[in-house]
Chains A and B, each alone.
Chain A
Amino acid sequence: VKKTKIGVIIATAILLFSFAACEREERGFRVQPPDSNRTTLTRPTNFEAGQATTPTEFQNEYENNAFAMSEGKRLFSQMNCVGCHAHGGGAIGPALMDDKWIYGSQPDQIFSTIVEGRPNGMPSFRGKLPDYEIWQLAAYVRSLSGKASSNSAPGRDESLHMSTPENSVKGDKKKPLGSDSTTEAKP
């Protein structure tokens, strides 16, 4: 009797264990983007009048979502970001795979840079894309310099691509979000 009991327990455990395989990576097609209204507090620079304030942490859910990141990568080409920034290396526009951020490296700062545009050539994409797709783009842009999770950054390309895949870019991704303000370029 005891033997059968142990057998039943082991069989149940194996069965339960095999159910764990059902919980695989979810293709999060409908992940809620960050609230775009919160970007009204976003500053394009750390240079501020009076006492310096610590920037509020801004979490972009899409940085942990492989589908959203690959969509960002697709939009990066389709919306012609590559036209000026190349595949992160920069050309007409600044490079995005280095440690230098003229208008900030936080997700909300990148979001407002894309939405509002910036002087000397960066056009405004307001209304040209739904907000959630701009958040996807912002997540991808951060992965170019290793600021996004390497678990979800694209690891391969649909087409010929000469640079290293985004998920193997060495960056400061081990630091918690928001602690990278020291790496910003001096204005």
Chain B
Amino acid sequence: MGPARRALIMSAAAAASTLLGGCSGPQSALDAAGVQAEHLQSLWWTFFAVTAAVYVIVMIVLLIALVRRKVSSANEEPDRKPEGPRENRVGNIVKGAVAVMVVTLFILMITSFRAGKAIDSLSSSPPKVVIKVTGHQWWWEIRYEDEANPSNDVSTANEIHVPLGTPVMVKLESADVIHSLWMPNMHGKRDLIPIHPTTIYFEADKPGIYWGQCAEFCGFQHAKMRFSVVAETREEFDSWLNAQRTAPSSPADTVAARGLELFKTGVCAQCHTVQGTSNGRVGPDLTHVASRPYIAAGSYQNTREHLAQWISDPQAIKPGIQMPMNQYSDEDLNSLVTYIESLK
């Protein structure tokens, strides 16, 4: 093996492994973290293998045809007379190839049906956890409702928590236009359609934090409409849910108290809910906003700096959203951010 050839093979292997590296990660349909995604993943690889094989075979046959073509000079009349036995042989090859193609397509179809049925099987048993997700331009409202005791309802945003190994039912609704919920590591896509509730069932089996994304173009900030899926043990999930159910503690110091005053009397309370303080229904619930690692639908980390920028000029970060720009003095902004940071 010459050094040039070896280098070629090495670089091809490197390129292939880089490409395959793109298949794993917290937002990949080929890195299944649940039974549903596993079915989809094996279906995907089956289709990939079959279609890749077909592609290779077709390319080989095409190359053979190119190499073995008859060269005739321009003046010579091409010989169009069929040769009996050769014609028969070629005809049989074509018939055989058509039969193989039909059978292959049927096998692929049946595999696809079987995968679809397996994915659907979760919906037959009653779900242990029900989550209501409402799509807004451009964020996700997440609600955990307790039918027996509505005071236990939890409303959060852009963050879905699920216990491991538990079937979860997600009820999907839209407040404005059509959105689509897509958690690639968990399941396929499901559209959120105004005044037409849809549902999706999934189960997370591998702990971790995964990313989801709106998968139906829904307006100017469609790209910044992300959410995270936190798959955790039952104990972790229960303690998170209980923490979300408790009211936030009242401000500990005068700076945060001033922030609360600004929040209550100013523009914030018109659109945002903080349990026990305000009841705005336009923007995300901020009762435990400091417990969420991201703001602006998964676009920015939840830090003091980002919060301050967000409050004073959200239109610079996500132009076109409903939150207005607000002019606060540095001192007021500091108090407001301190108060919001205290909403653990």
Contact = CB atoms under 8 A, between A and B. Distances in A.
A127 B269 CA distance: 11
Interface of A: 27, 29-30, 67, 74, 78-79, 127-130, 132-133, 158
Given A30-B315, A78-B282, A130 B267 contact: yes
B-side interface mostly: loop
B136 to A, nearest CB: 13
Given A127-B265, A127-B266, A158-B176, A29 B319 contact: yes
Nearest to B326: A130
B267 A79 contact: no
Contact of B315 (A29, A127, A129, A158): A29
B145 to A, nearest CB: 24
Contact of B324 (A67, A129, A158): A129
A133 B327 CA distance: 12
B197 interface: no
B68 to A, nearest CB: 48
A78 B220 CA distance: 20
Contacts, number: 33
B315 A128 contact: no
Interface string B307-323: 00000000110011010
8 pairs of A and B residues whose beta carbons are closest in the complex: A29-B319, A130-B324, A133-B324, A29-B315, A128-B270, A130-B326, A127-B266, A78-B282
| Residue of B265, B324, B327 most packed against chain A (CB within 10 A) | B324
Nearest to B322: A74
Contacts of A67: 320
9 contacts: A27-B319, A67-B320, A78-B271, A78-B322, A127-B265, A128-B266, A128-B267, A129-B324, A130-B267
A88 B340 CA distance: 38
Contacts of B270: 79, 128-129
Given A127-B267, A128-B267, A29 B320 contact: yes
Nearest to A71: B322
A27 B327 contact: no
A170 B200 CA distance: 48
Contacts of A29: 315, 319-320
Given A78-B322, A127-B265, A129-B324, 15 more contacts: A27-B220, A27-B319, A29-B319, A29-B320, A30-B319, A74-B322, A79-B270, A127-B267, A128-B266, A128-B270, A130-B267, A130-B324, A130-B326, A130-B327, A158-B176
A78 B271 CA distance: 9
Contacts of B266: 127-128
| Residue of A29, A74, A132, A133 most packed against chain B (CB within 10 A) | A29
B324 A132 contact: yes
Contacts of B267: 127-130
B82 to A, nearest CB: 53
A27 to B, nearest CB: 7
A129 B319 CA distance: 18
B325 A130 contact: yes
A169 B319 CA distance: 29
A74 B270 CA distance: 14
Nearest to A128: B270
B76 to A, nearest CB: 44
A29 B316 CA distance: 9
Interface in B227-286: 265-267, 270-271, 282
Nearest to B220: A27
A9 B246 CA distance: 73
Interface string B211-224: 00000000010000
